[in-house]
Amino acid sequence: MLLTINTAFAQTAAEIHVEEITYEHAGVELTGYLAHDASREGPRPGVIVVHEWWGHDTHARRRVEMLAEAGYVGFALDMYGTGKLAEHPSEAREFSTAVRSNRDTMLGRFQAAEALLREHGLTGGEPLAAIGYCFGGSVVLEAARSGADLAMVASFHGALATEHPARPDSVKADILVFNGVDDPLVPAEQIAAFREEMATAGVDYTFIDFAGATHSFTNPGADAIAEQFDMPVGYNARADRDSWNWLIAYLNDRV
């Protein structure tokens, strides 16, 4: 399915094309979402977007469109399977745990999307990066720990703990972490362990804390989720805006 979104910014006109792409990993059908600016010519770097624990949703798709507006080829992968979108936290926990508890599955589904984007004609051998939100943040960090050939990964309000810490000289990607100071799901001891892990492995990383921000601070729907399910999440417009601006600056510099 191909759609076209016209958007204007600065003094240039962007012609954003978006497309659903069906692919598979280990016999499981997955549906991703690709966006690019058709008014630009030639190949450009690609950026993988990994969704929150709810599944491949409008939040991930909007980020892909924003990446296209910034001049990149964005691809929102699917970690659960076509049409598998959680409506309740218990369902989201079930879906995300099933993936995270099997590292081969988690990395395999990420790698399937990475291969798709790397081989796409629009990227033309240009570098790739990956960003992730909440659950997706932990996925991109695991991909970096595994030695994925990425220029950069960025985690937005994602868990930092791992059972497979980075080894010296194993991480190729620069790492960028955006964290909410008031996020109870990423406690101080987890942050300290992550910093120690990165230092021990000699990883080039940047850690940015946002005062007053809690979990899911980039998701405009987080306040409604907090009210409906009594969860410690919330949208923070300043942290959302500033973290995105940091991301684009880092992408422009490193990718």
Q: What is the pLDDT of residue 236?
A: 98
Q: What is the pLDDT of residue 2?
A: 46
Between CA 255 and CA 252 the distance in angstroms is 6
Please, which residues have CB within 8 angstroms of residue 81's CB and are 6 or more apart in sequence? 28, 29, 30
Structure tokens at 82: 């076509």
Handedness of CA 110, 56, 66, 194 (dihedral sign): negative
Instruction: Please report the domains of the chain, with CATH numbers, ordered by start residue.
Output: 2-254 (3.40.50.1820)
Q: What is the pLDDT of residue 108?
A: 98
Q: What is the pLDDT of residue 13?
A: 58
Average pLDDT, the chain: 94
Q: What is the pLDDT of residue 183?
A: 98
Structure tokens at 134: 């909440």
Handedness of CA 86, 217, 234, 187 (dihedral sign): positive
Show the low-confidence residues of the chain (pLDDT under 50): 1-12
Q: What is the pLDDT of residue 14?
A: 82
The dihedral formed by the CA atoms of 89, 91, 94 and 97, expressed in degrees to the nearest 10:
-50
